Amino acid sequence: MLHLTASITLAAALAPDLASANDELSIEPSRPQTWDMDLDALQAIGLGQSRGVPVPAREPPGFVAPIEPQRAEAAVVFVNFEAITLQQGFDDSHNDVSEILGGDFAAYGGDASARAAVMEAVRIDWAPYNVLFVDTRPDGGDYTMNVTSPTNPYGGGVLGIAPLDCFNMMSKNNITFAFHGANDGFPPAVQATTIGQEVAHSFGLEHVDEPGDIMNPYNSGGDPAFLDECLPVVMGGVCGSQHEPNCGSQFSQNSHQDLLDLFGPSQPDTQAPTVQIVAPGNGAMYPVGAEFEITVMADDDNAVQVVDLYRGDAKLQTDAVAPYGWNVTDIPEGTYEFSVQATDLAGNIAMSNVVTVYVGVEMPSDDSGSADGGSADGGSADGTAGEGGTDDPGENGGGDEGCGCNQRGAAPSVAALALLSLLARRRRRRVSPRV
C-alpha cells in the first residue's frame, strides 16, 4: 500500500482586509481627453482602467545618495503570486515591508500554467534588459518584489501602484503592486503590462502618453512594449533628470533607453546550475516501510527553475519551489539509485550525485563494486526495462507498492504515481535475482 504525506502549506484565502491605504495617494489620474466612448462601457471590458500614479519613493533613515547613477547593473525582480501580509514602513522586499500598502493580500490563484503564462509574457517584455524575473523568492541579494494579487484596496478602476524611485536610487528592494488574479479576465499580456509598468516605476520610469508603451497609464489592451521612442511624460517630470540624457527634456521619456541605461542589455546565460543530494547519504540503509527525506541543494547564478527527481533514468517527481526535496514514506524493499536534475531559467541543466539507498536489503558485500555496480546495473536495467512492458504477475503482485516520494508542499500527480509503481516493478525484476 502506498502512503503519501505532504506538508502542504495552504495559502489561506485572505479577505481583503487592508490596514490602510496611504491617504496622501493620488491614484486617479485625470482622464485622457480623446475618449469618445462611454467610460463604463470601456471599463466593462477592462479597457480604460488606469494604473495608479506612482508615489515618489521615500528616503529611508540614514540614506546616502549614490555618487553615480546606476549604470548597466543587473537586477532581479520577484513576482509574488502567493498570499502575503505586508507591514508598512520603508520598502524592504526581504521583510515584506511596503511604503505604499500594508495588510493581507490574497493569492493570485489559478494553476501553475496560469502563473507561467504571466511570467512568460513579463519575460518577453523585459527580454532586452539584464533583469531577471523569477516567481520564487530569491535566497538573498537585492530584489524588487511585485505583489500580484486580486486584493485591490482601490477598487476595480486601478490596476496597480508602485513607488517612483528615480534612478532606482532610494532602494533596490522596493515593493510594487499589480492588482490581478487568475480569474479577473485580463489576458497574460495585459497583466504583464501592469506588472512591468509598476516594476519600472520603482526604477524611475514615469507614465507616457502613448498606448503602445508599457508606461501608458491607461489600459488600452493589446501587448505594449517599452518603446525606443521619446514620448511626452504624463503628469510628471519627477525623474526628469533620468530621462533627459536620452530625450533632451525632463518631460520626455524613452522607456527602452532608460532601462538599457540602468541594467544594460540582457546577457545570455550559459552557466549551468549546481545541484547535490545532501541527504540521505550514499549507501544509506533503511528497513522496509521507512520514512526519510531526500534533501537537495540547488543553486544557479541566476535562478533555478525546477528540479526533477530520478530513480535510475526514469523521472519520478518535479519540485519547482525551494527548498527542494521530497518526503519518502512506506518505501518497499529494494535498492534505489536516486539522482536529481536541476534546470535554470535559460534551460541549462545539471545532474546531481547518485545516491544509492538500500531498503530491507544488504548492501552488496563487494563494497568497491557497489558504486560501479550501479552503472553496470544501469546497462542491464535498460534491457530489463524493455521487457518491463510484459508484466509478470507472479513477481509484481504488489502493483500498488512504490516509493512514496512526495514533493514537499504539493500533492503528487497521478501520472507520477503511476510511474512510481511501474518503476518499483521494474526495479524488483532487476533486483530480485540478486537478493
Report the distance separating Cα 2 and Cα 357, nearest Å.
18
Sole binder of Zn ion in the list 2, 27, 48, 51 (CB under 5 A): 51
The footprint of Zn ion on this chain (CB under 5 A) covers a number of residues equal to: 2
Residue nearest Zn ion by beta-carbon distance? 51
Say which residues have a Cβ less than 8 Å from residue 40's Cβ, sequence separation at least 6.
none
List binders of Zn ion among 195-224 (CB under 5 A). Answer: 197
Of the ranges 44-52, 243-251, 301-309, 397-405, which one interacts with Zn ion (CB under 5 A)? 44-52
Of the ranges 34-42, 192-200, 307-315, 392-400, which one interacts with Zn ion (CB under 5 A)? 192-200
Question: Strands 144-148, 175-178: parallel, antiparallel or unpaired by DSSP?
Answer: parallel
Q: How far is the CB of 308 from Zn ion (least distance, A)?
A: 39
Q: How far is the CB of 124 from Zn ion (least distance, A)?
A: 20
Q: Which is nearer to Zn ion, 235 or 288 (CB)?
A: 235
Q: Which is nearer to Zn ion, 51 or 180 (CB)?
A: 51
The answer to whether the beta carbons of residues 177 and 146 sit under 8 Å apart is yes
Of the ranges 45-53, 59-67, 274-282, 388-396, which one interacts with Zn ion (CB under 5 A)? 45-53
DSSP-assigned beta bridge partners for residue 76: 132
Say which residues have a Cβ less than 8 Å from residue 362's Cβ, sequence separation at least 6.
none
Q: How far is the CB of 161 from Zn ion (least distance, A)?
A: 8
Q: Which is nearer to Zn ion, 197 or 327 (CB)?
A: 197
> Residue 226 CA to chain centroid, in angstroms?
22
Report the distance separating Cα 293 and Cα 47, nearest Å.
50
In which residue are the cell numbers 493580500 written?
A: 105
Q: How far is the CB of 199 from Zn ion (least distance, A)?
A: 10
DSSP letters for 266-287 = -----PPPEEEEEESPTTEEE-
Q: How far is the CB of 207 from Zn ion (least distance, A)?
A: 5
The C-alpha cell of 416 is what? 507520477
Q: Which is nearer to Zn ion, 43 or 318 (CB)?
A: 43
DSSP-assigned beta bridge partners for residue 97: 87, 92
Of the ranges 47-55, 262-270, 276-284, 347-355, which one interacts with Zn ion (CB under 5 A)? 47-55
Angle at 370 between CA 365 and CA 312, to 5 degrees: 135
Q: How far is the CB of 223 from Zn ion (least distance, A)?
A: 17
Report the distance separating Cα 173 and Cα 170, nearest Å.
9
Q: How far is the CB of 146 from Zn ion (least distance, A)?
A: 12
Report the distance separating Cα 161 and Cα 154, nearest Å.
10
Say which residues have a Cβ less than 8 Å from residue 407's Cβ, sequence separation at least 6.
6, 317, 318, 319, 326
Of the ranges 46-54, 80-88, 166-174, 414-422, which one interacts with Zn ion (CB under 5 A)? 46-54
Q: Which is nearer to Zn ion, 100 or 423 (CB)?
A: 100
Q: Which is nearer to Zn ion, 51 or 408 (CB)?
A: 51
Of the ranges 91-99, 193-201, 286-294, 335-343, which one interacts with Zn ion (CB under 5 A)? 193-201
Nearest CA-CA partner of 326 in 265, 258, 391, 279 = 279
Q: Which is nearer to Zn ion, 163 or 273 (CB)?
A: 163
Q: How far is the CB of 50 from Zn ion (least distance, A)?
A: 8
> Residue 260 CA to chain centroid, in angstroms?
24
> Residue 161 CA to chain centroid, in angstroms?
21
Q: Which is nearer to Zn ion, 236 or 388 (CB)?
A: 236
Phi, psi of 247 (to 5 degrees): -125, -5
Strand ranges inside 320-375, DSSP E? 325-329, 334-344, 349-351, 355-359
Of the ranges 102-110, 168-176, 189-197, 407-415, which one interacts with Zn ion (CB under 5 A)? 189-197
Q: How far is the CB of 275 from Zn ion (least distance, A)?
A: 39
DSSP 363: P
Q: How far is the CB of 53 from Zn ion (least distance, A)?
A: 7
Q: Which is nearer to Zn ion, 164 or 304 (CB)?
A: 164
Query: Site mask, Zn ion, residues 289-318, x = CB under 5 A?
Result: ------------------------------
The C-alpha cell of 176 is what? 510594487
**What angle do the packed helices 367-387 and 414-431 form, to 10 degrees?**
120
Of the ranges 29-37, 89-97, 191-199, 226-234, which one interacts with Zn ion (CB under 5 A)? 191-199
Report the distance separating Cα 344 and Cα 350, nearest Å.
9
Q: How far is the CB of 152 from Zn ion (least distance, A)?
A: 15
Q: Which is nearer to Zn ion, 197 or 302 (CB)?
A: 197
Q: Which is nearer to Zn ion, 133 or 218 (CB)?
A: 218
Report the distance separating Cα 3 and Cα 289, nearest Å.
10
Q: Applying CB under 5 A, does 180 fall inside the site for Zn ion? A: no
Positions touching Zn ion (CB under 5 A) are 51, 197
